[in-house]
């Protein structure tokens, strides 16, 4: 990784990923810019207002640093090592943070490297499905890494969802908020991510309601239904918990006031995001308990159904034991058997068998076994 950073050069939109030896860039990637680089957007903001024109990252940084109150916000999507290495040189990013941003698969966290903050957020998306099955994907996760400095914000996004384009537009529509600097962008990203958690949690709740209704339906009581689906939903809920739960500590750090990179007026906003995260965490905990209860109820229904089947089998076995016993006795072929040579012995035995079976059947029906 360090060798890759040393090889990196400052390159603009049109040249990133095209130098000899670099990993080929997928120009058809829907999240990449029309020129085929990882740079999705690059803008300079002065006192909360976006400056017109389009510049390369190095030029944008130079423009932002000319006047006080300006900063640059560069957005990347799944950059290569060389692409992010160029940004690392430009903003003097720590190699460990850069390595995490390239390879992704990180837990939500917040780390400080000198005057730069490195934050990792897990993004989530609810996967629509016509019917929940034992193999359904319900929650899809991605990642957003944020490098935050005094005059720059560098966002690195991994995954096919969680685009920050609409978020950028909303912020640009509120210049008074954007004028508070890079920390306002970090808050907006955190708030955006947690709002996604709320939306996904609500959608998962609908799936839980459907599973609950299915488990307690008449068909489920007859046949037993859905242990695979219930367990799959529990696994997907665990995926959501892994994205949500670790974010609590970073949000507390951002709102406590121990980080000089965070503007004092933004800290209260992070406390509000932390409150929303707590609500999501409580919802997920409740969902997990509810799914456990549904799974136990489903298994109990299966057990009850099996017990009912065993009682029916036992009852019919008891009824069939009567003719089996009588015919077994008369099949011994002894010479001296009661009524063996009487003309009406056969219909009498058949009648006795029928009456005995009828009485046993009636007794089992009265007791609920049949």
Residue pair 7/40 in contact by the 8 Å Cβ criterion: no
State which residues form the domain around 361: 303-366
Q: Tell me, what's the pLDDT at 219?
A: 58
Q: Kindly report the CATH number assigned to the domain that includes residue 197.
A: 3.30.460.20
| DSSP string computed for 82-143 | HHHHHHHHHHT--HHHHHHHHH----SEEEEETTEEEEEEEEEEE---SS--TT---EEEEE
Q: Which of 302, 323, 354 is the last residue of a domain?
A: 302
Q: Could you identify the residue written with the tokens 């090889």?
A: 7
pLDDT at 3 over 70: no
Give the pLDDT band (50/70/90) at residue 124: very high
Q: Are residues 94 and 180 in the same domain?
A: yes
Most trustworthy range by pLDDT among 74-83, 229-238, 275-284: 275-284
What is the rounded distance in angstroms from the CA atom of residue 234 to the CA atom of residue 245? 16
Partner residues linked to 252 by β-bridges: none
pTM above 0.75, yes or no: no
Q: Are residues 293 and 318 in the same domain?
A: no
pLDDT at 137 over 90: no
Q: Tell me, what's the pLDDT at 121?
A: 95
Q: Are residues 262 and 336 in the same domain?
A: no
Residue pair 182/146 in contact by the 8 Å Cβ criterion: no
Whole-number Cα distances in Å, 340 to 323, 324, 332, 355: 17, 18, 12, 20
pLDDT at 216 over 90: no
Q: Of the ranges 14-18, 96-100, 111-115, 297-301, which one carries the lowest mean pLDDT score?
A: 14-18
Q: Are residues 315 and 278 in the same domain?
A: no
Q: Where are the alpha helices (DSSP H) in the chain?
A: 2-7, 57-64, 81-91, 95-103, 165-172, 175-178, 182-215, 218-223, 227-244, 248-256, 264-330, 345-366
For the chain, the straight-line distance linking the first and the last C-alpha, in angstroms and rounded, comes to 73
Average pLDDT over residues 31-42: 62
Q: Which of 281, 302, 323 is the last residue of a domain?
A: 302
Give the pLDDT band (50/70/90) at residue 158: very high
Q: Which of 302, 321, 346 is the last residue of a domain?
A: 302
Average pLDDT over residues 246-255: 92
Give the pLDDT band (50/70/90) at residue 349: confident
Q: Tell me, what's the pLDDT at 211?
A: 85
Average pLDDT over residues 52-70: 81
What is the rounded distance in angstroms from the CA atom of residue 80 to the CA atom of residue 96? 15
Q: Are residues 223 and 338 in the same domain?
A: no
Q: Are residues 180 and 224 in the same domain?
A: yes
Residue in 329, 324, 332 with CA at minimum distance from that of residue 360? 324
pLDDT digits 0-9 by tens, 160-199 = 887 898 999 999 999 999 989 999 999 999 999 999 999 9
pLDDT digits 0-9 by tens, 296-333 = 887 777 777 777 778 888 888 888 888 888 888 777 77
Q: Are residues 231 and 288 in the same domain?
A: yes
Average pLDDT over residues 253-277: 90
Q: Kindly report the CATH number assigned to the domain that includes residue 343.
A: 1.20.58.340
Q: What's the chain's Rg over C-alpha atoms? A: 35
Q: Are residues 285 and 172 in the same domain?
A: yes
Classify burial at 231, counting beta carbons within 10 Å of its beta carbon; exposed 0-12, middle 13-18, buried 19 or more.
middle
For the chain, the domain total comes to 2
Whole-number Cα distances in Å, 313 to 21, 223, 362: 73, 17, 15
- Going 89 to 92 to 97 to 101, the CA torsion angle's sign is negative
Q: Tell me, what's the pLDDT at 37?
A: 63
């Amino acid at each position: 990784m360090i060798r890759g950073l040393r090889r990196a050069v400052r390159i603009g939109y049109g040249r990133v990923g095209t130098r000899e030896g670099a990993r080929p860039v997928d120009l058809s990637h829907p999240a990449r810019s029309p020129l085929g680089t990882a740079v999705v957007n690059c803008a300079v903001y002065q006192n909360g207002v976006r400056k017109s024109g389009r510049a390369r990252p190095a030029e944008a940084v130079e423009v932002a640093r000319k006047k006080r109150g300006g900063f640059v916000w560069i957005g990347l999507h799944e950059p290569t090592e060389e692409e992010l290495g160029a940004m690392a040189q430009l903003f003097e990013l720590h190699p460990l943070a850069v390595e995490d941003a390239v390879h992704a698969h990180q837990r939500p966290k917040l780390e400080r490297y000198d005057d730069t903050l490195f934050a990792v957020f897990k993004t989530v998306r609810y996967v629509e499905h016509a019917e929940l099955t034992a193999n359904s994907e319900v929650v899809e996760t991605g990642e957003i890494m944020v490098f935050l400095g005094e005059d720059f914000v560098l966002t690195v996004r991994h995954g096919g969802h969680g685009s920050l384009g609409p978020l950028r537009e909303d912020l640009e529509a509120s210049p008074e908020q954007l004028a508070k600097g890079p920390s306002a962008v970090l808050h907006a990203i955190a708030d955006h991510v947690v709002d996604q958690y709320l939306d996904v949690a609500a959608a998962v709740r609908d799936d839980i309601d459907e599973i609950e209704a299915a488990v307690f339906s008449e068909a489920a009581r007859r046949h037993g239904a859905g242990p695979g689906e219930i367990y799959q939903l529990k696994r997907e809920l665990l995926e959501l918990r892994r994205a949500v739960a670790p974010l609590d500590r970073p949000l507390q750090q951002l709102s406590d006031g121990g980080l000089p990179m965070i503007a004092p007026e933004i800290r209260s906003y992070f406390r509000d995001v932390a409150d929303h995260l707590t609500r999501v965490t409580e919802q997920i905990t409740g969902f997990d308990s509810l799914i456990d209860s549904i799974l136990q109820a489903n298994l109990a229904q299966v057990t009850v159904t099996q017990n009912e089947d065993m009682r029916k089998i036992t009852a019919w076995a008891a009824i069939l034991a009567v003719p089996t016993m009588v015919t077994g006795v008369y099949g011994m072929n002894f010479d001296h058997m009661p009524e063996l040579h009487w003309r009406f012995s056969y219909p009498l035995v058949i009648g006795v068998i029928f009456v005995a079976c009828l009485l046993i059947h009636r007794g089992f029906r009265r007791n609920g076994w049949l």
